[in-house]
Amino acid sequence: MHLIYEVTPEDNGRTALELLRQRLKFSAAAAKRVRLHGQLLCNGQPIRMIDPVSAGSRLDIIHEAPEQECDINFPPQVGDIRLLWQDAAFLIVDKPAGMLTHPNYVGETHNLLSLLNPGLHPVTRLDRDTSGLIILARNAYIHSCFTQKPMEKYYLGIIHGQLPADSGCIDLPIGRAEGSIIERRVRADGRPSLTEYQVLADCQAPSGSRLQLVRFHLLTGRTHQIRVHCAAWGHPLAGDTLYGHTEVTRTAEDIKLDRQALHAWTLQLQHPLTGQGIACRSGLPQDMRQLLASCQLSFKPAAPNPTALVTDQLTIT
C-alpha cells in the first residue's frame, strides 16, 4: 500500500517514525515492516525512520512489498464463503461453521486464508465451529489501523435453560484453564470480561429441553468469552462439546446440531481510512434455523426482530 502524508507546520522537526506512529497510527510492527520491506521517501528521496522532516514536505510510505499484499477482487461467493463487503482496504466475509480462520498446521487447506488468499490479515477471528462475520485486512497497515477504531460485535446463540433475566450483563474474569492451551475458565486472576445479553425467544425442544435464543454484545474480546460465560452461569450453548454437556448428558438437539450454536451476527465499525460508518449483518445459518424451527418458539414482546438491523449508517446485508 502506498500512503502519502503532507507534513504540517505542527509536525516540523519531528522524525518520520513519530509521524508514522502518531499521525498515521502505524503499530511498531507495521513501521518496522516499512523499514524492512517497503520504502520511506521524503520529497522523492529515501530517508531513515529517525530523520527529522520539515513542514511542507511530502512523505511517501510504501508499506510493504507488492507480493505481501492482497489486491485481488474476489467474486461474491468463494466455495462456501460469502463476501459481504470488499474494497481496497479490507473484506468482510461470512464464514460457515466447520472452517478455521487460518491454518493451524502446514498443509491445512480448509480455512479462510488458504481458500481466499494467504496474504490477508484476519482482524477478527472465530472458532472453527462458530459461524458468521470476519474482517480480513488486505495488508498489515490496515490491520493495524483497525486496532485504533471502535467496533461493536453482536452474536446470536442458542443456550440451554433460562437466564435469570431477559437482559443483563455477565461480568466474570476469564483466564486459561490449568493444563490446557485451548480451554478457558472463569477465574479470579483472569482478565476482566463483560458480555451483555438480551433474550429474544424461549423454546421448548422436542426432547423436553428448555432453550433460549439470545443476542450477545461483546464489551471485551476474550477467547471463547460467550461460551465460557454461558457455561459458568449454568446455561451452555447448545451443541458445545467443550464447555457444554458431556457425551452422557447431551440432548438430542446437541447431537443433531453437532457444533456450538453461536453465530457472529452483526459488525458495526468505522472504515479504517475514511471513518465511514459501516454496519454488516449475516442471517442465521440453516442448522440454527432448523433447530429453532423444531421448537415451540415464544418471542419476547419487547425484543427486536433478530433478523433486522436499524442504523443510520451504511448497511450491508
Catalytically annotated residues: 127
∠ CA 123-124-129, nearest 5°, is: 145
Assign 3-class secondary structure to 194-260: EEEEEEEEEEECCCCCEEEEEEEEECCCCCCHHHHHHHHCCCCECCCCCCCCCCCCCCHHHHHHCCC
Q: At which residue does the C-alpha cell 515492516 appear?
A: 33
Nearest alpha carbon to residue 282 among 156, 132, 126: 132
Q: How far apart, in whole angstroms, are the C-alpha atoms of residue 54 and residue 198? A: 54
Amino acid at 45: Q
Q: Three-class SS of residue 67?
A: helix
